[in-house]
C-alpha cells in the first residue's frame, strides 16, 4: 500500500478543523498509520522545505509553519498520494473544487490548511522527517 505524509497546518489546526479533515480521509478509506501534534521549528522546516530555501516566500512560509502547532499524519491506501491531493484541492482555495479541504477550510493560497506529499519519493523523505519507523503502524 502506498503511503503519504499529510500536515494539517497552523491555520486549520488552530481553527479546530482537524477532526473534520480526518473524517474526510477516513471516508475515502485511507488508513491512519501515524499521527502526532507538534510545533515545527526552523530545523524541521528547513528539512521539509529544502527545495524552497532561498526563494522569496521562504521566510514567510517558515514563519507561518512555525507559528503554532500542526498535526502530522501518515496515511496509507491505494493511490493515496494522488487521491489525497485531489481531496485537498487546488492550493488557492478560490480555485479549489467545492467540498475539498482547501475550499472548506483554507484562508488563502499561503494559509492553505494542509500539505500532502506530491510523489512517492517525497512521501518517503517527508515521512522520515516527522516519524520514526516505530511510530508508524501497519497491520
Q: Which residues are catalytic?
A: 115
Q: How many other C-beta atoms can be found within 10 angstroms of the C-beta atom of residue 108?
A: 13
Question: Under 8 Å CB-to-CB from 127, ≥6 apart: which residues?
Answer: 3, 5, 74, 117, 136
Amino acid at each position: 500500500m502506498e503511503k503519504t505524509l499529510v500536515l494539517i497546518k497552523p491555520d486549520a489546526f488552530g481553527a479546530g478543523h482537524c477532526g473534520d479533515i480526518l473524517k474526510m480521509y477516513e471516508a475515502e478509506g485511507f488508513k491512519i498509520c501515524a499521527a502526532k501534534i507538534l510545533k515545527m521549528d526552523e530545523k524541521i522546516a528547513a528539512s521539509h522545505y529544502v527545495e524552497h530555501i532561498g526563494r522569496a516566500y521562504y521566510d514567510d512560509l517558515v514563519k507561518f509553519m512555525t507559528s503554532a502547532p500542526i498535526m502530522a499524519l501518515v496515511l496509507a491506501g491505494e493511490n493515496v498520494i494522488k487521491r489525497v491531493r485531489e481531496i485537498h484541492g487546488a492550493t488557492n482555495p478560490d480555485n479549489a473544487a467545492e467540498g475539498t479541504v482547501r475550499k472548506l477550510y483554507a484562508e488563502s493560497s499561503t494559509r492553505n490548511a494542509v500539505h500532502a506529499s506530491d510523489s512517492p519519493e517525497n512521501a518517503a523523505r517527508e515521512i522520515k522527517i516527522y516519524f520514526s519507523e516505530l511510530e508508524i503502524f501497519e497491520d
